[in-house]
Amino acid sequence: MTSPSPSYAVGTAMARPTLSVDLTAIAANTELFCRIATGEVMAVVKADGFGHGAAEVARAALTAGATRLGVATIEEALALRAAGLRAPVLSWLNPVTADWRAASAAGVEVAVPSIEHLQAVAEVGGARVHLEIDAGLARDGCAPRGWLALCRAARAAERAGRLHVVGLMGHLPCADRAEDHSNSVGRTRFAWALEAARSAGLRPHDLHLAATSATLLDPRSHHTMSRIGAGLYGIDPTRTTALRPALTLTAPVVETRTVLAGTGVGYGHAWTAPRSSRLGLIPLGYADGLPRSASTGAEMHVAGERVPVVGRISMDMTVVDLTGTTATVGDTVTVLGPGDDGEPTVREWAEWSGELEHEIVTGISSGPGSRVRRTAGPAATVLRGLS
Ligand SMILES: *Cc1c(COP(=O)(O)O)cnc(C)c1O
């Protein structure tokens, strides 16, 4: 046999997997949306700021020109308050039994999609409310058939001093496709809903229909405010605009080994070494958010080169083929980043896995108790954190 015998090397003290959040990218994206949007920009920081850290993103976006914050749940809004953020916050996804009292006490504005929600909010008193019309998703928001009744009940509650209707919101189903007919249907329905609200005596001043895609593609949807989520994080579903990705995910090579041609690697032996191969073990798996469906075709970046993922991504670890590179134990692998140095991007991971970029960024598990350490800062700080 001329093949090398299997060898084995183990790293000792080395860096943990790290998710670096470049807040200068968030700020640059925010500034761009502030220029494009006709009205105000609400920074959508739900799902822990799409996995980037809600409070850090919120601060960066507000400094860069956003004037409002948006989240799904009241709990998310209260967490922003607890982190010291005083800007206006809107929460739009809550059960009728939500803690409306806590929302009111913290000055959190709430979306109201139904009579039942309205009654619960009115009972507590003092809320600033955005009535929510279903502009075509058939998911959240009040269906047109119940809209007039909702507006009349809201006006009655307002006259009774129980709440104040400050806004009207809707959300579009296919805004990333400029030509989709549902966009004009949604715009028309939103305009109709506003007329109906006004004729019921309501005077909402925050009128918002557009999220990232509609803000980029259709000024007719802008009204007085755009709710920007994906775009803040460098994700452009419309593929029309140069946005800056903010995440870099790195991990150390913790082991290397050389295997003989014909060696099956990982669960199910989904990959067999076609030649003698030097393999690297990366301590990140699907529990950390690497999509297992990307096991075929995915790449990482180490020692200046792209290396292929081989075998199945498992829960805690992934194997890469280091054959022909200088990469060794302790070297830092870049799993994803903005792409400046040739590393894979979130968009590539989305293509490899068949997922959305949104799923990739929100899927990386970096919250309390997780194995990935998250650091946030301006680029210079982030880079220091990496070394
Ligand atoms: C998530 C969300 C947004 C942000 O959408 P993007 O396309 O990520 O900008 C806006 N509005 C509502 C109601 C949402 O749920």
Whether residue 212 has its Cβ less than 6 Å from ligand 1: yes
CB 212 within 8 A of CB 247: no
Which ligand 1 atom is the nearest neighbour of the CA of 231? 9
Q: Which of 8, 46, 233, 286 is catalytic?
A: 46
Whether residue 230 has its Cβ less than 6 Å from ligand 1: yes
Q: How far apart are CA 234 and CA 17, in angstroms?
A: 22
- DSSP conformational letter for 342: S
Residue in the structure block whose two tokens are 């709430």: 110
To test the pocket of ligand 1, the residue of 171, 216, 225, 226 to mutate (highest count of ligand atoms within 8 Å of its CB) is: 171
- Residues 221-255 pLDDT 10s: 999 999 999 999 999 999 999 999 999 999 999 99
Q: Is 46 a catalytic residue?
A: yes
Residue 306 pLDDT > 50? yes
Mode of pairing for the β-strands spanning 68-71 and 40-44: parallel
Note the pLDDT of residue 381.
54
Q: How far is the CA of 214 from the centre of ligand 1 (A)?
A: 11
Q: How far apart are CA 213 and CA 230, in angstroms?
A: 9
Which ligand 1 atom is the nearest neighbour of the CA of 230? 8
- Residues 109-159 pLDDT 10s: 999 999 999 999 999 999 999 999 999 999 999 999 999 999 999 999 999
**Residue 106, helix vs strand vs coil:** coil
Question: In terms of DSSP H, where are the helices of 83-218?
Answer: 100-105, 115-124, 144-159, 181-199, 212-217
Residue 380 pLDDT > 80? no
Note the pLDDT of residue 10.
53
- Residues 54-104 pLDDT 10s: 999 999 999 999 999 999 999 999 999 999 999 999 999 999 999 999 999
Q: How far apart are CA 161 and CA 163, in angstroms?
A: 6
Q: How far apart are CA 93 and CA 171, in angstroms?
A: 13
Note the pLDDT of residue 6.
44
Q: How far is the CA of 228 from the centre of ligand 1 (A)?
A: 6
Q: How far is the CA of 133 from the centre of ligand 1 (A)?
A: 15
Residue in the structure block whose two tokens are 């939103």: 190
Which ligand 1 atom is the nearest neighbour of the CA of 42? 10
Lowest mean pLDDT among 11-20, 181-190, 231-240, 318-327: 11-20
Looking at the whole model, is its pTM more than 0.75?
yes
